[in-house]
Structure 1
């Protein structure tokens, strides 16, 4: 137990005030105000709760975050010692518990699983991803364009992301649609047993499907070209892919579209010029990242950093949202002109390059196609009326309602060739 006054002149994380509850609706409504309160006095670390009676440390400072993310020896990602303190049915388990994948392992084990994942991702064809996104986006827009209104998350964003991801992974729609609510529940920390059962059942069915009927897709590579993996390990690599794509990409699109619908800079000017969608996506990644607090690590022994002692076997989360809006780094200007944000992490656990490109490709094409088709769309509520989904990890609007003049259906483009 670390005392409130440290050896070596530091203080314990517990001494820095009451723990901020990251799981409440109040935090979801105003997280950036909470980050400002937590960093009063120039603090780079803050005590938080991920759920009732589940303590953790939140990293607020940008430079501190980069140091931690690039120091896997002192800040390993393996949660096995920590998770012994959680009941088997705790709602945080599906999101944070150990799995044989690159997100939840350390050392040689992490290197082995990351190599397998990157090998499987190499099959991704970004041109096909773009074509498929445009085709799916067109089909979805045609379902509501005559109505004059839509709720973008359910009517457009989620089905775009799910459909394109299923195509890229090689997952039949029936299995993919069953996985969607399970991964949403995983990020919200609810229904532990049901989440684990739905995820495992769906992904093992996908593995068996690919064993019988392979194609040119991620799942087929994992099954047929990664012989060192067991089916349990293959399933866990697929958990990584789905959890890294469904919720983060959906939130990236939703947050960016909300930004473009409310920020005058992203509305057409008198010359009908609009800043590129890619700029809006980049700004969202930098200043309002879809995964706000994650990149977990679990020190094996007490660690002193920035004059604060962090206890062993307690989660340390990097706040990508707080770190990349750290006044010590960006002042009031934001990170819109560079790529130094932490939305994709940093260090050995950073998101692989091809996965970054794929997620941004889906986001840019889905957003651009919507506004090209319905340029007069407006948010059908005030910004205060748009609710936010509570949860310690994501930055996620619960709905993005829009209204627009009814428009005729678009011609369906020719889609990419089958991946078989």
Structure 2
């Protein structure tokens, strides 16, 4: 599942597996064996049965026995962290309630207001060129900057957070990037304990669950990881669908909401994940699965189960498993949908003649066992002036909604003198523009 052939055509692999049974043995990465569940009903059984199936990776027998190298590329996505993704029982309930209660304080109006200036900022950076890579110039950066905003990050911390998360997702020195991510999140938590704001970090700190700094850090890592990469892929995959349907269809046929539903059914941004570990040997529809071995849910495979033909034809929102189900179902599906919808609306409205710059069959999909993700999305359009940010400035009148500057972080140690000023990151540049 880590090769280019699987990335190019995963559905053929799912179909072949399903023909042999509800689940099949797979290799997630070199030396990492697992069982992939491709049958819809079997997937629901695993996701909802907390008695026989655990989410805690500390049950992973091969890892405990030293048969998985600690630098294996899938470990960042599978190794234990004390967050609500990798825990069970009362501990999981305590952490999840803190997360869900905090996310529930976000509302659609606020999310749209936060997406609007970030989208304008990013579009302005490439709109005069007439060409762009909508994945890496837009869909990748928008969620990163938005989470800085939702977490209440000041300039310095936000730049480091954006840089370290990008490095982790791109596989660039992941160990160093993880250390930097941990350091900047701990600084953010310390700042928000002193100076709370109207943001998710402060709400988590203030929650009656009384999370420790370590627990807070791990919930923030989970939210960032579970929000940024899937959001990038949801935006990118939906834009690809809309662009391959043509501009006339985009206007008069398929709506953005329909494109998002189509992606969640057919190319869910996280295609294979929700790893469970049987607490005892189990028989899964005739497939023997040993205790303590990874059991991975294929959302992409289960959604394409032939038994769901009627639900697939109607794109029923309640039928697919892209958001999971059971006690670990995604707690942020409503915010995630609004973010994608607002981001896609913004770029289509700004660049109405947007078109793919290469034939769709020449696009590349990023290899990896867990995601369904484009490597790039090259587009062309009529160049337009980069004036969208200016339209949101205070001088634009009462309709403008400038962002208040988040609290400043404590001064960081002086950087080594390189003979030139340090280059500003995306987040500090964005805050400079929208500073009142």
- When residues 30 and 213 of structure 1 are mapped into structure 2, their CA distance, relative to the original with a 3 A threshold, is same
Asked if the contact 1:59–1:317 (Cα under 8 Å) also holds between the matched residues in 2, the reply is yes
Q: Deviations over 1:268-325 (max 9, x none)?
A: 259x524321111111111110000001111122111101110111111111001001
Is structure 2 residue 380 aligned with structure 1 residue 403?
yes
Q: What is the CA–CA distance in structure 2 between the aligned matches of 1:349 and 1:95, rounded to whole Å?
A: 16
- Equivalent position SS for 1:229: coil
CA distance in 1, matches of 2:196, 2:317: 40
Q: CA deviation at 1:79?
A: 0.7
Question: Structure 1 residues 392, 362: closer, same or farther in 2, change over 3 A?
Answer: same
Q: 1:313 corresponds to which residue? A: 292
| 1:198 has 2:180 as partner | yes
Q: Is 1:376 paired with 2:380?
A: no
- State the alpha-carbon separation in 2 of the partners of residues 335 and 178 from structure 1: 43
Following the alignment from structure 1 to structure 2, what is the Cα–Cα distance between the partners of residues 360 and 319?
21
Q: Which residue of 1 aligns with 2:117?
A: 135
Paired position in structure 1 for 2:273: 294
What residue number does 1:388 align with? 365
The residue number in structure 2 matching 1:212 is: 194
Q: 1:343 aligns with which of 322, 330, 333?
A: 322
> Secondary structure of 2:85's match?
helix
- Residues 56 and 317 of structure 1 are in contact (CA less than 8 Å); yes or no, is this contact kept in structure 2? yes
Match of 1:45 in 2: 23
Q: 1:332: Cα distance to partner?
A: 10
Where do 5+ consecutive residues of structure 2 fail to align? 393-399, 408-436
RMSD: 2.2
Deviation at 1:161, TM superposition (A): 1.2
Q: Secondary structure of the residue that 1:391 maps to in structure 2?
A: coil
Confirm or deny: 8 A CA contact 2:131 2:381 kept in the other structure.
Answer: yes
Number of aligned pairs? Answer: 393
Correspondence 1:164 to 2:146: yes
User: How does the TM-score come out when normalised to structure 1?
Assistant: 0.88
Change in CA separation of 1:38 and 1:180 when aligned onto 2, cut-off 3 Å: farther
| Unpaired runs of at least 5, structure 1 | 1-21
| Residues 315/403 of structure 1: CA separation in 2 closer, same or farther (3 Å cut) | same
Is 1:273 the counterpart of 2:252? The answer is: yes
CA distance in 2, matches of 1:32, 1:25: 13
Structure 1 residue 33: deviation in Å?
1.5
CA distance in 1, matches of 2:296, 2:176: 26
- For residues 164-184 of structure 1, the C-alpha deviation after alignment (integer angstroms, 9 at most, x for no partner) is 121112123443343345445
How many angstroms does 1:60 deviate by?
A: 0.2
